[in-house]
């Protein structure tokens, strides 16, 4: 087989894969016809399979075909009952990066909570890392952040004392309201690790300055000054805290129960 024939055959096979995966959604019979047509141009099908190491039969068999007239969507597997209807005591808002529910950012959901509401406002946050700075003002009490696991859902930002004009303002999440609750999620500051002697490298993952806050199954990740337990009464249960210098600091009156720390 001459080199021109080999190159042409390989080109046809690659084109068939591209068309089948990104342009159209053919039937397995069409897959077989395209692949067989390309391979019949040469008796050296083993060479083709060496250059293009796909199991075409497996690719066809496991490809999910949508129902006729029904478009494929990243939201097809989204929980159908999220968010649940509002009740007299609870409002649930939903955050998903793919736009499968109410909001795509956590801050937008916080902003949508009515001011001074007596209801428990649950912000259900889907799996993902949300790169944003989140501030919960005093006017938004009774908010719950509900994640999908502290290794699955996180809010992260990268401010430092230098970039935020002070350690107190560097927190990726800053809570000033009362009765805040967080469950099964992480709070991260992903600023670079400070070198010895660095000035202004403090990087807070979360600042808690409201009274009666509680955290269950949460993670707190940073280096210097990770968890700013600023003021108020707070409760931490089954949490993981990572940091180095002063990684838990502040004037809060808090109870830490069954906590894992790494420094």
61 or 263, which is more confident: 263
Q: How far is Cα 73 from Cα 71, in angstroms, rounded to an integer? A: 6
- Report, as an integer, the average pLDDT of 27-32: 46
- Joined together, the tokens standing for residue 1 give 């087989």
Give the contacts of 212 (CB within 8 A, at least 6 positions apart). Answer: 178, 179, 180, 232, 233, 234
H helices, E strands: number in the chain: 6, 18
Q: Which of 40, 39, 42, 35 is nearest to 17 (CA)?
A: 35
Percentage, residues of the chain above pLDDT 90: 63
Q: How far is Cα 203 from Cα 225, in angstroms, rounded to an integer? A: 6
- Report, as an integer, the average pLDDT of 128-157: 98
Assign 65 a pLDDT band (cuts: 50, 70, 90).
low
CATH 2.40.30.40 fits 90-262, yes or no: no
Percentage, residues of the chain above pLDDT 70: 73
Assign 262 a pLDDT band (cuts: 50, 70, 90).
confident
- Joined together, the tokens standing for residue 10 give 């390989």
Name the helix (H) or strand (E) containing 128.
strand 128-131
**3 state SS of 37:** helix
Q: What is the pLDDT of residue 70?
A: 64
Alpha-carbon Rg for the chain, nearest whole angstrom, is 26
Q: What is the pLDDT of residues 19-29, one digit of tens each?
A: 444 444 444 44
- Report, as an integer, the average pLDDT of 201-230: 97
Q: What is the pLDDT of residue 195?
A: 86
Delimit the CATH 2.160.20.10 region(s) of the chain: 90-262
Tell me the pTM: 0.73
Q: What is the pLDDT of residue 69?
A: 61
Q: What is the pLDDT of residue 181?
A: 98
Q: What is the pLDDT of residue 71?
A: 63
Q: What is the pLDDT of residue 46?
A: 39
- Average pLDDT value over all residues in the chain: 82
Q: How far is Cα 8 from Cα 23, in angstroms, rounded to an integer? A: 21
Q: What is the pLDDT of residues 77-114, one digit of tens each?
A: 898 899 999 999 999 999 999 999 999 999 999 999 99
Q: How far is Cα 2 from Cα 77, in angstroms, rounded to an integer? A: 49
Q: What is the pLDDT of residue 263?
A: 67
Q: What is the pLDDT of residue 23?
A: 44
Asked whether 226 and 220 are in contact (CB, 8 A), the reply is: yes
Q: How far is Cα 179 from Cα 211, in angstroms, rounded to an integer? A: 6
Q: How far is Cα 31 from Cα 58, in angstroms, rounded to an integer? A: 11
Asked whether 154 and 186 are in contact (CB, 8 A), the reply is: yes
Q: Taking each helix axis from N to C terminus, what angle separates 3-18 and 28-39, rounded to the nearest 10 degrees?
A: 170
- Report, as an integer, the average pLDDT of 233-250: 93
Q: How far is Cα 233 from Cα 224, in angstroms, rounded to an integer? A: 23
119 or 7, which is more confident: 119
Question: Annotated active-site positions, please?
Answer: 246
Q: Which of 217, 194, 221 is nearest to 206 (CA)?
A: 221
């Amino acid at each position: 087989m001459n080199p021109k024939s080999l190159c042409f055959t390989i080109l046809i096979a690659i084109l068939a894969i591209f068309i089948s995966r990104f342009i159209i959604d053919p039937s397995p019979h069409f897959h077989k016809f395209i692949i067989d047509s390309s391979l019949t141009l040469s008796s050296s099908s083993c060479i083709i399979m060496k250059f293009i190491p796909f199991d075409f039969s497996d690719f066809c068999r496991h490809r999910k075909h949508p129902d006729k007239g029904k478009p494929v969507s990243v939201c097809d597997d989204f929980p159908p009952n999220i968010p649940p209807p509002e009740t007299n005591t609870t409002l649930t808002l939903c955050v998903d990066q793919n736009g499968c529910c109410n909001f795509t950012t956590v801050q937008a959901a916080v902003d949508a909570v009515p001011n001074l509401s007596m209801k428990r406002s649950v912000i259900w946050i889907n799996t993902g890392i949300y790169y944003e700075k989140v501030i919960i003002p005093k006017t938004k009490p009774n908010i719950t952040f509900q994640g999908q696991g502290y290794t699955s859902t996180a809010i992260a930002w990268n401010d430092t004392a230098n970039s935020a004009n002070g350690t107190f303002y560097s927190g990726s999440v800053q809570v000033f309201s009362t009765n805040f609750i967080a469950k099964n999620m992480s709070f991260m500051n992903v600023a670079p690790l400070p070198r010895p002697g660095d000035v202004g490298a403090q990087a807070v993952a979360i600042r808690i300055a409201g009274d009666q806050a509680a955290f269950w199954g949460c993670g707190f990740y940073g280096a210097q000054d990770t968890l700013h337990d600023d003021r108020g009464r707070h409760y931490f249960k089954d949490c993981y805290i990572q940091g180095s210098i002063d990684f838990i600091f502040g004037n809060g009156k808090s109870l830490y129960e069954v906590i894992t720390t790494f420094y």
